[in-house]
């Protein structure tokens, strides 16, 4: 496994762990509130925290599963498709045709 792929996978695992721990803490907040419940202002904060945790879980899962392609995309290390040429080659080819 290459270093960029490892870094992306570790970041994904961190986001998964962070989101899971955040969701567990939100569950404890609601259970500690008891029969009184949480106020509307606190409920707004809790709902924002839930959105943040769920978003972190989704991004972490995607980063963990697709670590290889994501690392290639983030490091600009992608190879051109077979049969096709690189964008720089295409631009140079068009420039040479115009000057000729």
What residues have CB less than 8 Å from 30, skipping those under 6 apart? 38, 46
Q: Two tokens at 45? A: 């904060």
pLDDT tens digits along 3-51? 888 999 999 999 999 999 999 998 888 788 777 777 777 888 888 999 9
pLDDT band at 88 (very low <50, low <70, confident <90, very high): low
The residue segments making up the domain with residue 48 are 3-99
Which residue in 59, 68, 57 sits closest to 20, CA to CA? 57
Task: Say yes or no to pLDDT of 55 above 70.
Answer: yes
Which residue in 46, 65, 69, 45 sits closest to 57, CA to CA? 65
pLDDT value of position 53 = 95
Q: Quick one: CA dihedral 29, 54, 71, 89, positive or negative?
A: negative
How many domains are there within the chain?
Answer: 1
């Amino acid at each position: 496994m290459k270093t960029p792929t490892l870094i992306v996978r570790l970041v994904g695992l961190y986001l998964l762990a962070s989101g899971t721990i955040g969701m567990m803490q939100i569950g404890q907040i609601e259970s500690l509130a008891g029969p009184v419940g949480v106020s509307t202002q606190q409920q707004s904060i809790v709902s924002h925290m839930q959105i943040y945790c769920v978003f972190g879980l989704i991004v972490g899962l995607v980063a963990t599963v697709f670590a290889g392609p994501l690392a290639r995309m983030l490091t600009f290390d992608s190879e051109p498709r077979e049969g096709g040429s690189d964008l720089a080659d295409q631009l140079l080819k068009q420039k040479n045709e115009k000057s000729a």
